[in-house]
Amino acid sequence: MRTRVNSMRLRMQLINSGTTLTILLSSIPAFAQVTASKISGGLESTAMDRKLTRSGKVAVLNAIDEAMKTLRDDAHGFEGNVAFGKFIDRRNLCESMICEKFIFSNKEIPNSDIEIEKRDDPLDLADDRLNVSAVPYSFDLFFRKSVEGISIDEIKQTIQVEDFWVDTAGKKNRLPADGIQLTPTGTVISYRYRAKETQHSRFPVDVVVTYLRWSRTDPPGTVQRLESIYLSRDYPYLTPEMRKNKREAQQSR
């Protein structure tokens, strides 16, 4: 599916300490990932990049709009949603918990990988995590050939985000308007947000969008190329003991 050196992904985590932003790159599944060659600054040639067609742009915006509804508002039936394309495969990734990936192919968005992951329902406090309901957890859209034609403002407007993200301590953090550079060469730019709540919202959703550029010294106005859009629910961290305590508290009411 994905022409990568390996399957590890790099997710940007930002810790706001006073006025200093520290960037941590960790190998957890998120589409802020880039290949090893890109991290080292060896970007692909211009022949590998392309301008997204008008229909392709509409397809991308429709896909992320539907993905946000699925994750934020808990919309059902995503497997048959034509906005994601044709459902082609389903993969089980874990043994002790539920984590299934649903893979789509969208002819309007060529050279892309589109995946939705389901995990065990965090609102179900049962001990046996393999016998609880599987619910949508994340959406990944990755371009194997980065594309021009969609700005970060168009993405933000489509999926309706706040201009901040929320760290593990619940603190709101704001990123620079032009994103954060993830590589020393300045060729990988990441934007991170929290989705706006709506009247139908059931879960908070985190947004990570990654663009590529040729170098840190690109002149102002140089078009960046979209590489990936990653949306994921922000679930509370629960250990088996914490889940047990919550279950007992509910039963004692």
Residue 196 has pLDDT above 60, yes or no: yes
Residue 15 has pLDDT above 80, yes or no: no
Residue 185 has pLDDT above 60, yes or no: yes
Per DSSP bridges, beta strands 172-173 and 50-51 are unpaired
Q: According to the model, what pLDDT value does residue 49 have?
A: 56
Residue 44 has pLDDT above 70, yes or no: no
Residue 102 has pLDDT above 70, yes or no: yes
The residue-averaged pLDDT of 161-172 equals: 91
Residue 204 has pLDDT above 70, yes or no: yes
Q: Give the mean pLDDT of the chain.
A: 80
Kindly state the percentage of the chain with pLDDT values over 90. 47
DSSP string covering 55-117: HHHHHHHHHHHHHHHHHHS----GGG-GGG-EEEEEEE--SSS-EEEEEEE-TTS-SEEEEEE
Cβ 125 vs Cβ 250: under 8 Å: yes
Give the pLDDT band (50/70/90) at residue 143: very high
